[in-house]
Amino acid sequence: MTGPVARRRTKDALWLIAGVLTIGMLGLLVGLLAQSGEQVARMWVAAEVRADGSARITEVVDYDFGGADKHGIFRTVPLDEPGDLKDVSVTMDGAKVPFRISGSVLARLMIGDPETTVTGVHRYRIEYTLPRLGTAERLAWDAVGTEWEVPIRQVEVHVAAPYALASVRCASGEYGGSDPCASLRQPRPGQLEISHESLDKEQGLTVYGVPTKAAGGGAALPEPPAGPASARAKDHVVPGWLWITGIALAAAVVVAEVVRFAGRERVRGYRRMDRGRLARTVRPSSVPPADLGPAEGGILLTGQVRKHHLVAWLLGAALEGHLQITGATQPVLRKPVEQPSGADKLTTTVLDTLFAKNPNVALRKYNRQFNEAWGQLNRGLRDWRRRDELGLWVRGGEQLRLVALVGGVLMAVAGVTVLIVTADGLAGSGTAWRTPTAVGAALAGGGLAVALRSWELPALTARGSELWCKVEAYRLHVAGLDRWDGRDEDLLTAWAAGLGETTSWVLAAERATKRGGSARQAQPEYDHVRWQLGLYLGVGADSARSISGSSSGSSSSSSSSSGSSSVGGGSGGGGGGSW
């Protein structure tokens, strides 16, 4: 089972590779990326929302097979209910192409003839109907899902709705990310035009909007791209790009290993041990650590405070009786009639702020008291990490991390500057450019590695390593849970949220329910399955902390609008690749 350390190192490796490739591109001093392998050269996506809430989706995918011989492409589409995907049609280069659909709540379209192969660049047009995009109160559409196995170089999205849209937002990046899209326009109420450049694999784009009763709507979609897809341009100055990229990658790998070595943990019986090796010594345990709560255990596991740790704290506070949580998709925090004694200072402060004006706080829309309490909780957990009264981290580690982070950024900037100044000789026939560009590439790659891997430097003490292993052992138990007897659902939910294993826990509980187990609701008046709270409480917290803006008539709307809407929060989505 992959743990948080392995996941983060894998993510760092992907970011390092992306950064190294970017360094190589800058060295070429050209406006084109040095591209290799399969990719989606262009993706044109449109949604025509109908009066009954359903939407007709059109996707035009210019798929570049990169010289490989493949049968075609596949496309996955998540569904709310089996059978939601309707009226599917597919063409390749304007002609009908065989396709087949499998799966229920995750529909998988296999497009292409298994008896023949294709290569080069081909244009696929996929059309289908979904029963809804989001809810009646909010348009939410994953126009590009986060499960594409190849990068997407150019994205164009269109929406035509029968009503005017307000609070329009567009988020891009990895699942849960909130980077703004490059361009978002609303030329008239109910019509959106979005463009974005270069989504990496496993990155997506989500569109949000709020239907209004204002005049407008009824806009028509533009005609989708027709004709053959454009062939990919040939790469230039490949030897120079390989030289710069290779040097930057070598420097990044060496520096990353040095940082990892410097951040080894202290353990009993050994002087220092790498955290990855420490994780391999851990076996699953069904007993959570007694010395830490769900939020603190999650912080120990990751070394930093994240949103799901705050969610775990709320669930833990409910577990101890300091508050009650009802609802699932629209959670409500309630003040109990009798408060348990022995609450610590952070709990008292947060709850006093939370229930200062109302004993019932609904997480459906912006709530000032919740926003203030959430900020206090965030600062309180960060203060707990910084004070480290339990002696879990080696002293001075956080200061060392900050020094490495700043130093790494400065190194990377210096290296990129050297490359920009010296790499103009790449296109020539000489080799004088190799030495200065190697220096710049090494500085840039090494600086990037220091900045990305600086989180490894705050090492654990022997006591911290011991507790870390206990937390990791319980995480492995939750992540690998297959059979569940219905007990301790509140405890498991809180810990699953804190350890970042909410999805694994929900799936395990759903499996137990379908097998006829004793999975049950905690109390009869709750209108949800308790173990789903880990998924929906974080979404509700975002809603209660953001103030929705408004859209004015046909004016343009910038994608930099504030808001907490993130990638992966809508209908549709999924991904694709070749087969």
DSSP code string of 347-381: HHHHHHHHTSS-SEEETTS--HHHHHHHHHHHHHH
Least confident of 88-102, 361-375, 381-395, 553-567: 553-567
Of the candidates 373, 359, 282, the one whose C-alpha atom is nearest the C-alpha of residue 326 is 359
- The DSSP annotation for 66-124 comes to TT--BSEEEEEEE-SSTT--EEEEEEETTEE--EEEE-SSEEEEEEE-TT--B-SEEEE
pLDDT of residue 530: 64
Asked if residue 519 has pLDDT above 50, the reply is no
CB 225 within 8 A of CB 125: no
Phi, psi of 141 (to 5 degrees): -135, 120
The 10 Å CB-count burial string (b at 16+, else e) for 518-535 is ebeebeeeeebbbbbbbb
Query: What percentage of residues in the chain have a pLDDT greater than 90?
Result: 26
Least confident of 117-126, 161-170, 212-221, 444-453: 212-221
Across 348-355, average pLDDT = 90
Burial status of residue 344 (CB atoms within 10 A of its CB: 0-12, 13-18, 19 or more): exposed
Reduced to 3 states (helix: H, G, I; strand: E, B; else coil), residue 459 is coil
What span, in angstroms and rounded, lies between the C-alpha atoms of 449 and 409? 9
What span, in angstroms and rounded, lies between the C-alpha atoms of 248 and 252? 6
The 10 Å CB-count burial string (b at 16+, else e) for 309-331 is bbbbbbbbbbbeebbbbbbbebb
Asked if residue 424 has pLDDT above 80, the reply is no
CB 573 within 8 A of CB 77: yes
Q: Is the dihedral of CA 9, 12, 18, 24 positive or negative?
A: negative
pLDDT tens, position by position, 85-105: 999 999 999 999 999 999 888
What span, in angstroms and rounded, lies between the C-alpha atoms of 203 and 151? 8
pLDDT of residue 206: 92
Q: At what angle do helices 368-387 and 294-302 cross, to 10 degrees?
A: 60
Mean pLDDT estimate for the chain: 81
Asked if residue 241 has pLDDT above 50, the reply is yes
Least confident of 117-126, 146-155, 171-180, 483-492: 483-492
Asked if residue 496 has pLDDT above 90, the reply is no
Across 70-81, average pLDDT = 90
pLDDT band (50, 70, 90) for residue 542: confident
pLDDT of residue 557: 36
pTM for the model stands at 0.50
- Cα-only R_g, the chain: 26
Asked if residue 59 has pLDDT above 90, the reply is yes
Of the candidates 305, 272, 279, the one whose C-alpha atom is nearest the C-alpha of residue 5 is 279
pLDDT of residue 460: 86
CB 476 within 8 A of CB 282: yes
What span, in angstroms and rounded, lies between the C-alpha atoms of 481 and 487? 13
Q: Which residues contact 532 (CB under 8 A, 6 or more apart)?
A: 328, 506
Residue 493 zone, left/alpha/beta (φ > 0; ψ -120 to 50; rest): alpha
What span, in angstroms and rounded, lies between the C-alpha atoms of 186 and 335? 43
Of the candidates 230, 69, 70, the one whose C-alpha atom is nearest the C-alpha of residue 153 is 230
